């Protein structure tokens, strides 16, 4: 069967003939891949900045954002049946017996860093025609989300950040008031797929949401944010501090830019008791000028918190599926517009080498 693979040793990207998977355990699921999203991680792997093939193999099959259809299930599988749609998770636990996170089913919090990730590190990804994995790694998706289900995995980044952020802010007694979300201000940095989905998620929870990005006001991204009830502000030519003065006290700030300078500027614009969630992973940038003393004073004197989030566990995947269903009911046109283009497998090598266009390119593997 066909698959898109990178060859790190020869620095090639091409469509290969990949071995057909088969059920091996009674807990296995065989699924055909419908669609795979392309993100910055895929492009960085295609530039050979990282990406590790499985042991003993010369290539790595790409793709970690996917929507699949179940074809066959093992004898011990419950909760999934042939014909069901599902999204497979990405990270797999390390083998270290003392890793409490992985032994507790939360590889997204792995202590050792020896985990594996489909399409990224030591495990083939989903940019192929069929896959097999254990049932526990699949999250069922309602049939009505067929056209947008491929966006679930990017949404899990925001979903996990919100789960962790909510656990943090619940230490305040006033947060127990059910009207808290309607009074608190949230800001999202970055108008990529993760940022836009994060803004939708915060808006659906009742937060007053602003999205700040470099695209001009009046841009397609700006119109999209305003269509689902958010407020768009361009930071082109304006500092984050300028925008924060217009905004007022920010309770929750979700960073989705992957730009180190922007992320640390964001820490300086939080309101009292605010929380900043960092989700972007910057590449090598060299030294970033920052007033560490001013940042420390703000964090300490204003009781602020900064935390990072990466990958996602089962709770975030389930939350993302639920949120996607809510988005589809409330903002169907806006949600669908996040998928800017669809491409066959044969076009992927050229797609990965070209500059990104639009919000989310998707590879259509099966009809």
The pLDDT of residue 149 is: 98
Q: What is the pLDDT of residue 168?
A: 85
Q: Is domain 155-308 classified as CATH 3.40.50.1370?
A: no
- Which residues make beta-bridge pairs with 308? 278
* Residues 6+ positions from 28 with CB-CB distance below 8 Å: 73, 74, 77, 132, 133, 134, 135
Q: What is the pLDDT along the chain (367 residues), one digit of tens a residue?
A: 999 999 999 999 999 999 999 999 999 999 999 999 999 999 999 999 999 999 999 999 999 999 999 999 999 999 999 999 999 999 999 999 999 999 999 999 999 999 999 999 999 999 999 999 999 999 999 999 999 999 999 999 999 999 998 888 888 888 766 677 777 899 999 999 999 999 999 999 889 999 999 999 899 999 999 999 999 999 888 889 889 988 889 999 999 998 888 888 888 899 999 999 999 887 766 677 778 888 889 889 999 999 998 889 999 999 999 999 999 999 999 999 999 999 999 999 999 999 999 999 999 999 7
Q: Are strands 185-189 and 138-141 parallel, antiparallel or unpaired?
A: unpaired
pLDDT on residue 137: 97
Domain boundaries, the chain: 2-148+338-364, 155-308
What is the reported pLDDT for 11? Answer: 97
Domains 2-148+338-364 and 155-308 alike in fold: no
Q: Supply the DSSP symbol for 238.
A: S
CATH of 2-148+338-364, one of 3.40.50.720, 3.40.50.300, 3.90.226.10, 3.90.180.10: 3.90.180.10
| DSSP structure string for 109-171 | G-SSS--EEETTBEE--S-BSEEEEEGGGEEEE-GGGTTTGGGHHHHHHHHHHHHHHHHHHTT
pTM over 0.95: no
Q: What pLDDT does 32 receive?
A: 98
| 323-343 b/e (C-beta count within 10 Å ≥ 16 → b) | bbeebbeebeebbebbbeeee
């Amino acid at each position: 069967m066909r698959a898109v693979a990178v060859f790190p040793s020869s620095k090639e990207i091409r469509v290969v003939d990949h071995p057909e998977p088969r059920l091996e355990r009674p807990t296995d699921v065989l699924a055909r891949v419908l669609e795979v999203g392309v993100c910055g991680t895929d492009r960085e792997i295609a530039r050979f900045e990282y990406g590790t093939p499985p042991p003993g193999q010369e290539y790595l099959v790409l793709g970690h954002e996917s929507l699949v259809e179940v074809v066959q299930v093992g004898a011990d599988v419950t909760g999934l049946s042939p014909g069901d749609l599902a999204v497979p998770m990405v990270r797999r636990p390390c083998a270290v017996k003392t890793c409490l996170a992985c032994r507790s089913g939360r590889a997204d919090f792995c202590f050792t860093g020896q985990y594996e990730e489909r399409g990224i590190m030591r495990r083939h990804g989903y940019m192929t025609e069929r896959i097999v994995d254990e049932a526990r790694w699949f999250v069922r998706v309602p049939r009505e989300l067929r056209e947008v289900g491929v966006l679930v995995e990017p949404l899990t980044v925001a979903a996990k950040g919100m789960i962790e952020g909510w656990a943090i802010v619940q230490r305040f007694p006033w947060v127990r008031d059910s009207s808290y979300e309607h009074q608190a201000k949230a800001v999202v940095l970055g108008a990529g797929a993760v940022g836009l989905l994060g803004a939708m998620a915060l808006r659906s929870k009742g937060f007053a949401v602003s999205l700040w990005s470099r695209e001009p006001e009046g841009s397609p991204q700006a119109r999209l944010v305003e269509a689902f009830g958010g407020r768009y502000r361009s930071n082109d030519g304006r500092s984050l501090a300028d925008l924060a003065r217009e905004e007022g006290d920010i309770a929750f700030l979700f960073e989705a830019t992957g730009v180190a300078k922007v992320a640390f500027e964001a820490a300086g614009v939080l309101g009292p008791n605010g929380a900043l969630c960092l989700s972007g992973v910057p590449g090598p940038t060299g030294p970033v000028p920052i007033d560490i003393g001013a940042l420390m004073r703000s964090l300490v004197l204003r009781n602020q918190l900064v935390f990072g989030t990466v990958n996602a566990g089962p709770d975030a995947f389930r939350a993302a599926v639920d949120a996607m269903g809510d988005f589809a009911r409330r903002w169907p046109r806006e949600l669908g517009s996040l998928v800017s283009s669809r491409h066959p497998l044969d076009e992927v090598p050229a797609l990965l080498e070209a500059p990104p266009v639009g919000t989310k390119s998707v590879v259509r593997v099966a009809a």
